[in-house]
Amino acid sequence: MKTRKNLPSEFYLREDVLQISKDLLGHHLCTRNADGVITSGIITETEAYKAPEDKASHAYQNKRTPRTETMFRTGGIAYVYLIYGIHQLFNVVTNVDGAAHAVLIRSIEPLDGISLMQERRDMNTTKPKLTAGPGRLTQALGITGDHNARSLRSDSLWIEEGEDISETNISALPRVGIDYAEEYAGKPWRFIISDSEYVST
């Protein structure tokens, strides 16, 4: 049984995706596999993607494809997709139906189910390498394309209230891997917990 509360639907429905990205820091991203084993981690690094104007977003200019369709839906669901043919990336869809806002979760700090996360990653460590990095945390938590469009208040995937992170302990940095996005490439829309080791390089 769970002792912590899920983030409420209203958390995800707000308009300011930058604020939501900061607010997500410190909360707990959780999954449960078919055997009922829970794995979770503290969110330590996020990035905001703000269509239609953001050139780094898949939904730039509100471009709808079968893949991006998920981002246009009502906030509070997962947007999971494959990048580089190899890695699943996990995003939180925000704002109301028709607004394609999302927050990429880039890193977590391991919390529950560490042995199962190590098994999934084929690693024997709790160092940042286990869960720091957008492709790494999805592997550690067992997140795949099957989780795309799933509610973040479901039995197999959810986000619990963790600790509040004060504004003074948050750093804003440029986003990673989006050099093609011209004037949006340098925007400080990546947020980390300043004193956490569990962030990508």
Partner DNA sequence: CATTTGATGTTCT
Partner DNA sequence: GAACATCAAATGC
Task: Give which of 142, 179, 135, 172 is closest to 157, Cα–Cα.
Answer: 142
Total number of residues binding DNA (CB under 7 A)?
33
Binding test (CB under 7 A) with DNA, winner from 47, 75, 94, 191 = 47
- Residue 72 vs 158, nearer CB to DNA: 72
User: Least distance from C-beta 5 to DNA, angstroms?
Assistant: 26
Binding status of residue 102 toward DNA by CB under 7 A: yes
Binding status of residue 13 toward DNA by CB under 7 A: no
- Residue 36 vs 85, nearer CB to DNA: 85
Binding status of residue 129 toward DNA by CB under 7 A: yes
User: Least distance from C-beta 103 to DNA, angstroms?
Assistant: 8
Binding status of residue 135 toward DNA by CB under 7 A: yes
Task: Give which of 104, 122, 3 is closest to 47, Cα–Cα.
Answer: 104
- Residue 23 vs 45, nearer CB to DNA: 45
Contact string (CB under 7 A) for DNA, positions 48-67, x = contact: -x------xxx----x-xxx
Binding test (CB under 7 A) with DNA, winner from 34, 84, 97, 168 = 84
Binding status of residue 3 toward DNA by CB under 7 A: no
- Tokens standing for residue 152: 């973040």
Strand 157-160 relative to strand 190-193, pairing: unpaired
Interface residue list for DNA (CB under 7 A): 47, 49, 56-58, 63, 65-67, 71, 79, 82-87, 89, 91, 102, 104, 121, 129, 133-136, 175-178, 180, 200
